């Protein structure tokens, strides 16, 4: 029997994401003017941007309260899941903890600033990916891990119940 710790213990991941996200955003706000660009390495700049919408500035006309309520609802849902599934499912718990940390990192921005601070500018030639931040990285990574967990679950289910077997 392997040791399984409580999924709720993985909330330290959410706290770390929030802390790193807020520290990096504060550094950008203090040291870069709006739209100021600082080259870091080929294909990567730091830039001080304001995002009033969701990913890729979608829904940029929506009020900050909409995103605050959405991020809060997602976080409450994740907390309820962690409580109802106290042990095991580590990959899923890590994924959800990353998503919650990212969501709350951006909620803090919307509550304190009315917008989200984005500052990572990845580009190739004259094409620039949408600017993003640490919270966005955590949400994207968590979503990727969530998809991986679903694929692994489907693979495990096929092994347990092979097609045509009976």
Q: In what order do the strands lie in the sheet with 127-128?
A: 37-41, 44-51, 116-124, 127-128
Of 109, 121, 136, 149, which residue is the catalytic one? 136
Q: Which of 149, 126, 129 is nearest to 137 (CA)?
A: 129
136 as an active site residue: the answer is yes
Of 118, 121, 149, 153, which residue is the catalytic one? 118
Helix (H) or strand (E) holding 38: strand 37-41
d(CA 147, CA 54): 21
121 as an active site residue: the answer is no
Q: What is the set of active-site residues?
A: 118, 136
């Amino acid at each position: 029997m392997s040791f399984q710790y409580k999924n709720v213990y993985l909330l330290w991941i959410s706290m770390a994401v929030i802390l790193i996200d807020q520290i990096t955003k504060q550094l950008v706000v203090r040291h870069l003017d709006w739209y100021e660009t600082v080259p870091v390495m080929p294909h990567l700049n730091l830039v001080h941007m304001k995002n009033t919408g969701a990913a890729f500035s979608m829904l940029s006309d929506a009020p900050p309260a909409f995103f605050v309520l959405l991020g809060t609802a997602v976080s409450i849902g994740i907390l309820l899941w962690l409580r109802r599934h106290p042990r095991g499912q580590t990959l899923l718990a890590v994924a959800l903890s990353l998503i919650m940390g990212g969501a709350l990192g951006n909620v803090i921005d919307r509550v304190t600033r009315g917008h989200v601070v984005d500052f990572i500018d990845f580009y190739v030639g004259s094409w620039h990916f949408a600017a993003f931040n640490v919270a966005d990285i955590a949400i994207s990574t968590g979503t990727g891990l969530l998809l991986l967990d679903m694929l692994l679950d489907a693979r495990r289910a096929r092994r347990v119940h092979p097609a045509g077997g009976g």
